[in-house]
Amino acid sequence: MWGYLSLLPAFLAIWAVAGIWTVFALAVANKSVNLNEGFPYISICGSYPPQSCLFSQVLNMGAALAAWICILRYHQLQDWGVTRRFNQLILWTGLLSALGTSMVGNFQQKNQKPTHLTGAFLAFFVGILYFWLQLLLFWRKKNLPQPGSPWIGPLRLGLCTICTILMVDRRRDTDTQEEGYVKTEAEIGVMRLQANDCQQYQKLRGKTWNRFSLQPSEGTWPC
DSSP class per residue in the chain? --GGGGGHHHHHHHHHHHHHHHHHHHHHHTTSS-GGG-PPPHHHHTTSTTHHHHHHHHHHHHHHHHHHHHHHHHHHHHHHT--HHHHHHHHHHHHHHHHHHHHHHHS-TTT-HHHHHHHHIIIIIIHHHHHHHHHHHHHHTTTSPPSS-TTHHHHHHHHHHHHHHHHHHHHHHHHHHHHHHHHHHHHHHHHHHHHHHHHHHHHHHHHHHHHTT--PPTT----
What does the pLDDT read at residue 34? 87
Please state, in angstroms and rounded to a whole number, the distance separating the CA atoms of residues 40 and 174: 11
What does the pLDDT read at residue 209? 44
What does the pLDDT read at residue 179? 46
What does the pLDDT read at residue 187? 52
What is the model's pTM?
A: 0.72
pLDDT string in tens for the chain (223-residue length)? 567 888 899 999 999 999 999 999 999 999 888 888 888 889 999 999 889 999 999 999 999 999 999 999 999 888 888 889 999 999 999 999 999 999 999 998 888 899 999 999 999 999 999 999 988 888 877 766 666 677 888 888 999 999 999 888 876 555 544 444 444 445 545 555 555 555 554 555 555 445 544 454 444 444 4
